[in-house]
Amino acid sequence: MKTILSCIFSLLIFSLTEAHTIPVGAQYPVKRIKQALAMAKDRDTVVVYGGIYKEGNIVVAKKIIFLGKNNPILDGQHKGEVLSVKADSVLVKGFRLVRSGFAALDDPCGIKVYNKTFVRIENNYLEDNFFGIYIQNGSNCIIKNNTIIAHGKEEQLIGNGIHCWKSANLQITANTIQGHRDGIYFEFVTNSVIWRNISTQNIRYGLHFMFSNDDAYISNIFKNNGAGVAVMFTRDVKMFNNTFEENWGDSAYGLLLKEISDSYIFNNRFIKNTSAIYLEGASRIKLEKNVFEANGWAMKVQASCMDNELVNNNFLGNTFDISTNGSLVLNTFNSNYWDKYEGYDLDKNGIGDVPYHPLSLFAVLTEKNPSSMILFRSFMITLLDKSEKVLPSITPDNFIDNSPLMKSLPL
């Protein structure tokens, strides 16, 4: 008898707490999103049907599923933040969020998550917002399959596409970001993954890391940004299978590494960048099986870098393979393929019998006097480079690959 009463009581409690679905739209009794959110309880689903909703700042402060059907438009009318998430375990899916306000002090966004956990933002389209999606002090949040478009012209007049601050255990997956200051921005973010995103035509960086340790970014495309990626003041970062392409400009890099340590850069492609990789204050980084193709400079390694290892990479058609601003070399280069190598392989083991010096005399001269680029491809410079390879006098003797490969690696 007690068991039966217990079951009846449990069923009664469940029925009282059962989740409900609240539809919103012109054809339903509830026509305003804010009215539906006021009615909703934790675990409910608010379904917003197609239409244009101009309700100012919409705040989700309950653990609900917030779902758009037939592409409803949340229009901020350039007055403020469009959607604010202030509850844990919220799902935001299927909306078009447009025209947030523009301000330098309060950073209005298309979607902003305030100090919450397990929030999912997926399959949304955001356009003409100051910041796109902003995670503030969040954890275990997922940003997936969103398209985030802006039309910024100057970096001080536009925010970032995906901006994450003081957060942990984030997944940023399969988003397309265009036209913002930085496509993706991490500051004080740990143990997070950036995977399969496309970040293009952003004013400053496709991806910007600051003080963010133990993260990974994998299989992303960073193309035609002011600069590709900047990783600064960071340690223990894994960078795998990314493409850095056509990031051109006086100060443009495919990948900028500044004050970074204990990281692994594996199987990336650097194609047609002004400088593919620029290292300053970088230490204990392993670069393996990357392709450097048709860049101005494949790598600029400043004298402040040490204990970095460059192994099994392909250097193809770069104007300069390596450049540096000092004479002390504390990094190692082993078993790379250099298309400028002119050595021989008498024992046919696939490794050149003569070591290769990837740092050319002209690269040293250009680093010290950029205006000397006017002499590029001149007969005099070609003659000087050939002489330097025979009798090195200016380039550091230990800037050397002792086992250069005779054939490029099939990467």
Q: Which of 301, 335, 344 is nearest to 315 (CA)?
A: 335
406 falls within a domain: yes
Task: Judge whether 289 and 409 are in contact, CB under 8 Å.
Answer: yes
- Segment 125-136 shows an average pLDDT of 97
Establish if 240 belongs to a structural domain: yes
> Which residue's entry shows tokens 């989740």?
19
Indicate the number of domains in the chain.
1
Query: Residue 89: is it exposed, middle or buried by C-beta count within 10 angstroms (0-12/13-18/19+)?
Result: middle
Overall size of the chain counted in residues: 411
Distance between start and end Cα atoms, the chain: 71
Contact by Cβ (8 Å): 177, 197: yes
Q: Report which of residues 11 and 300 the model is more confident about.
A: 300
To the nearest 10°, the Cα dihedral for 276, 316, 223, 165? -40
With a cut of 50, say whether residue 15 has pLDDT above it: no
Considering the domain boundaries, does residue 204 fall inside one? no
Q: Distance between CA 279 and CA 305 in Å, rounded? A: 7
pLDDT band at 364 (very low <50, low <70, confident <90, very high): low
The answer to the question of residue 283 being in a domain is yes
Residue 249 to residue 297: CA distance in whole angstroms = 12
pLDDT at 14: 39
Compute the distance between CA of residue 411 and CA of residue 401 in angstroms, rounded to an integer: 20
Which of the four pLDDT bands, split at 50, 70 and 90, describes residue 159? Answer: very high
Query: For 339-348, which contacts have Cβ atoms below 8 Å and span 24 or more sequence positions?
Result: 339/315, 339/408, 340/315, 341/404, 341/406, 343/404, 345/406
352 inside domain = yes
Q: How many CB atoms lie within 10 A of CB 255?
A: 28
What is the C-alpha separation between 293 and 295, in angstroms, rounded?
Answer: 6
Report residue 252's pLDDT band, with 50, 70 and 90 as the boundaries: confident
CA atoms within 13 A on the CB side of 262: 8
More confident residue, 8 or 193: 193
Structural domain contains residue 110: no
pLDDT at 217: 95
Q: What is the pLDDT of residue 393?
A: 54
Is 304 part of a structural domain of the chain?
yes
397 exposed, middle or buried (CB, 10 Å; 0-12, 13-18, 19+)? exposed
* Share of the chain residues as helix, strand and coil, in percent rounded to the nearest 5: 15, 40, 45
Query: How does residue 10 score in pLDDT terms, banded at 50, 70 and 90?
Result: very low
Q: Assess contact for 315 and 341: CB atoms under 8 A.
A: no
| 140 vs 107 pLDDT, higher one | 140
Domain residues for the domain of 411 are: 226-359+396-411
**Residue 313: inside a domain, yes or no?**
yes
